[in-house]
Chain A
């Protein structure tokens, strides 16, 4: 350790290193979560489309968030017949707000991904309490758990 560095500087440096480790872990955890989500949605699309009507392309987004730094994360571009299209686009790991079903205590949102046709938008919020779960909020602020049936209904709506 250089002689010029005080004990206080040394401890501050260690604290910064600790924060950096946490930031890296949070960033990686979020990228992994979006990868899992994108894989799940891709699989549901494949199951719903045995004839291959849809064109599904995996796209990468560059993001930079204050609390976790810069990273690259996947999304999907889905096209139908060259005209209608849907983009599945990660918004961020850190989001303000909570997911609350009627009459229940809200769970903090721990990530957001948008599904949009460029006009209408469905928002997916991730919660971690009791395990990782994704929830859909539509443009009338109705909340529902994300499952295969709900995802297919959203895609049909956005591609119609």
Chain B
């Protein structure tokens, strides 16, 4: 299961390594494989031809980098939302007034389903520059997620996305929530 940025990165590296290996096998060695033995009886492999392997590998690799950015940001977003929610839950038991309890219910919903941009806003005093870097990843993710329609925002590589999001998580994890604001 992919639950952390490290998990997502491992998935990306594995998918890329395996696809590149399969592409290489198809392009360079497919006809030299010992098809006379058990390999030739393997239903999954015997029907594959070089052209199909090439086309399929290319189809995977063409979008893999952007899919990785999408995945990294989704994992990051889920982590931040649940972290903020957990931090707020600690404060809730002390609240007695009905208006406050109602406000907390609204806040919970906003944290779970509302604009992620607004969730990041309170972290600005910690490092506004880093928030902007994360927002650049978010904008690129949105562009990819909406079918790459319209002008391209500044391009984000998987490595840049991973480093920025990881940097933000480290900052949040090492800062007690009450020091914000």
Residues of A within 8 A of B (CB): 63-67, 69-70, 91-92, 94-97, 112, 118-121, 123, 139, 141
Contacts and interface: CB of A to CB of B under 8 A. Distances in A.
14 contacts: A65-B154, A66-B154, A67-B154, A94-B154, A95-B156, A96-B155, A96-B156, A96-B161, A97-B163, A119-B23, A119-B61, A123-B157, A139-B16, A141-B159
Given A96-B160, A119-B20, A65 B152 contact: yes
Nearest to A111: B155
Contacts of B61: 118-119, 121
Nearest to B28: A160
B150 A97 contact: no
Contacts of B133: 96
Contact of B58 (A64, A96, A118, A123): A118
Q: Is the interface of B mostly helix, strand, loop or mixed?
A: helix
Interface residues of B, number: 26
Nearest to A84: B27
Contacts, number: 59
Nearest to A125: B157
Nearest to B157: A97
B155 A91 contact: yes
A143 to B, nearest CB: 11
Interface in B98-137: 133, 136-137
B151 interface: yes
Of A65, A94, A97, A123, most buried by chain B (CB within 10 Å of CB) is A97
A66 B151 contact: yes
A37 to B, nearest CB: 17
A65 B152 CA distance: 5
B73 interface: no
A95 B151 contact: no
B20 A66 contact: no
Given A65-B153, A141-B159, 11 more contacts: A64-B150, A65-B152, A66-B150, A66-B152, A70-B151, A92-B152, A92-B154, A94-B153, A94-B154, A96-B140, A119-B23
A95 B161 CA distance: 11
A123 B136 CA distance: 20
Contact of A66 (B62, B153, B156): B153
Interface string B34-74: 00000000000000000000000110011000000000000
Interface string B145-181: 0000011111111011101100000000000000000
Contact of B155 (A92, A119, A141): A92
Of B61, B133, B152, B160, most buried by chain A (CB within 10 Å of CB) is B152
Given A96-B160, A97-B157, A64 B152 contact: yes
Nearest to B27: A119
Contacts of B164: 96
Contacts of B23: 119
A69 B152 CA distance: 9
B22 to A, nearest CB: 10
A152 to B, nearest CB: 21
A119 B140 contact: no
A64 B150 CA distance: 7
